[in-house]
Amino acid sequence: MSADLTSAEKDEQLTLFTYQETEALKLFLASENGFVDAQTLEQTVWGERVVTQNSLRKLISALRLKLDDKNSIKNVRNKGYQLSFEAIQDSVKKSPKIFSSTTIVITFIVLVLSMVAIHYAVSSNNSTQLLPKVSQQTVFESHDYIVDYAKFNDALYVTTRDSKKSTLYKTVNRQNTVLLSANYPGAYRGIEIHSSGRTVMHVVEDSKCKIKIFDKPFEHQIDEIPCNRQNAYPSFDWIDKNKFYITFNVRPSDSIKPYTYDIEEKFLQKVTTTNFDSENGKHFIDAFIKGHGDGMFSMREDNLDEVSLIYFEGDNRRTLIRFRNKPYSIAVSENNLFYVGNNNELLRTTLTDDIYSQELTTSYVLAPQTVKISDPLMLDSELYFALGNSARESISSHSGNFNYSLENTIIDFNYTSKILSILAITNSGYVVEQLKDGTVFNSTYFDTTLSLRQIAFHQGEVYLAGTSGVYKLVNGKLISISDIKTIKLVSNGQCFIAEAEKGIYQFEAESNTFKMFTAQGERAFASKQGCLFVDNLSGYIINEKREKVAKPLLARYLFEHKGKISHWHSVGEQTHIIDVESSEVIAKLPNRALYKRVISYEDDILYLGPKDVRTSIVKLKLDE
């Protein structure tokens, strides 16, 4: 390991540690026995920032992954964490000296197990430099989602939304003034302000898409352009006071590509000086554009899962980055390109006059963060970005006695053998967390591009499934079990079935895979009576022994609670739980259950609901 603990090398492969990871390692290695209490870790690593227990768990999980050993850092229950290590002598020195384990700066550190290289490099030909010194200033805060923002003089203009409304704010010295408000979450969208004050804004008004143009920020409207439904979020970039770029498609069947609009001539036309056509003939969306010199940067979506940052200049083009997540914007200055990487870090690439041919050199601005970084923008030659601007969910209970949330997006959970198992999406993969008696005893983060949407806990093993197939999670690694595209995994601890597009499959322990059970089953769920599902032909609920159990009156989602089979559905903003046999309403959950996730939890009912967010816009000053 390097003396400053920012990197390590094994087998000529380099592992980089983030700022938070380095600070944690310093604490562990300064401790006499490798133990550091949780409070000290949080205060030293994050300072005055407010963080959750999950932030610390995520940091420890990341270190375990880089150390390639989940036991290298042990959780001392309700106290903190302990790193196993030993400090040894430098064998090259003539007078060897054994360093004590309290010494932070040591020549070599031998960890319990070997380390593996994990690179944050953007591409294989990029070199990534160390972090610069930065200072941050929060300039806007809200409990709404930030949609877009722009700056004019000393004021910041921000469009936001929540589940019920849209708001346009004017912010000066962190004092927010509401300029516009609408009882529709998508009313106010993208905005772009020219240095003269000319402003273009995307709105949805009376269910119609419109581009409004103002002479001054949201004062004196001078023009309006209708747009079609496929132009959900057009991107703008001013060329001069009277002309701007806009991503547009005149016909709904066309790809969305850059056009120019002339305010004085009221004329919309294609950009002909640059070739934006698809190279493979497929439809695409240029979701974000930014002109630069004689060319243009574009965030191009080829489909719902792939976004590439491409630089266009005449007939030439160059793909700079391919994203695993879905970024919203980039920031471009005269000599630098700023963007959010695949591991939620803020990166900078230095630009030359020949972007098409230059060698790309990437450096960190901010290391991977525990809260989401998004929407980097260059406003008045200063770098801004949004922080924490991500949808969050919370597992809540009918009684109100249980609440659980992750900083990542929860997509499935179940309660089997007294274990609550949760699956969530991260920036680069997934996390599985398990709780017993309300306490987390397993937290596993792993990177993958597989599509996983279900989790099951069967006889002490964690199984994950989705359109990519069924996998067993063993020591942070995925082992393929079956290639069936699953809709749901169901286990009560004894039985184990999978609902797929073509029916119900049953798990066979002998062959360690799933075999077709019936092609006419749906709405699978776990019960004390076995793994149950609805037979499509008879309409009865049956078990894996093909025995009839009950007949639901409604075609709703099913689960068992307190020994009674119930179905549930949303009624307005509530979720109703109804007994299958009596049609009696057993419970009314205060919120809609997200992603069809409702389970029985002892005497309680757990469901996935929305969680309040806290978002902010941050101005970043770089010390060159």
pLDDT of residue 97: 36
Residue with tokens 């002109």: 291
Backbone angles phi, psi at 394, to 5 degrees: -135, 135
Q: Which of these, 478, 490, 464, lies nearest to 411 by C-alpha position? A: 464
Does the pTM surpass 0.85? The reply is no
587: tokens are 């419970």
7-111 is classed in which CATH architecture?
Orthogonal Bundle (1.10)
Q: Does domain 144-345 have CATH number 2.40.30.10?
A: no
Q: In what order do the strands lie in the sheet with 564-571?
A: 557-561, 564-571, 574-579, 585-589
Q: Which residues contact 493 (CB under 8 A, 6 or more apart)?
A: 416, 417, 457, 458, 459
Residue with tokens 């064998």: 91
Q: Which of these, 28, 30, 29, 2, lies nearest to 16 by C-alpha position? A: 2
Given a cut of 70, the residues of the chain with pLDDT beneath it are 12, 47-53, 87-131, 229-232, 303-305, 370, 391-392, 407, 427, 623-624
pLDDT of residue 407: 67
Q: Which residues contact 225 (CB under 8 A, 6 or more apart)?
A: 210, 211, 213, 246, 261, 268
Maximal C-alpha separation, the chain: 86
Determine contact, residues 29/83, Cβ cutoff 8 Å.
yes
Task: List, in sequence order, every residue forming a beta bridge with 248; answer none if it has no partner.
Answer: 257
Distance CA 395, CA 261 (A): 47
512: tokens are 């360690």
| SS3 state at 163 | coil
Backbone angles phi, psi at 55, to 5 degrees: -60, -45
pLDDT of residue 101: 36
| SS3 state at 421 | strand
Q: Does domain 393-551+601-610 have CATH number 2.60.40.10?
A: no
The domain segmentation of the chain, as residue ranges, is 7-111, 144-345, 393-551+601-610
pLDDT of residue 305: 57
Quote the distance between the C-alpha of residue 57 and its chain's center: 17
144-345 against 393-551+601-610: fold identical: yes
Instruction: Report CA-CA distances (Å) from 244 to 198, 220, 229, 247, 594.
Output: 10, 18, 21, 10, 40
Q: Which of these, 331, 345, 409, 325, lies nearest to 613 by C-alpha position? A: 409
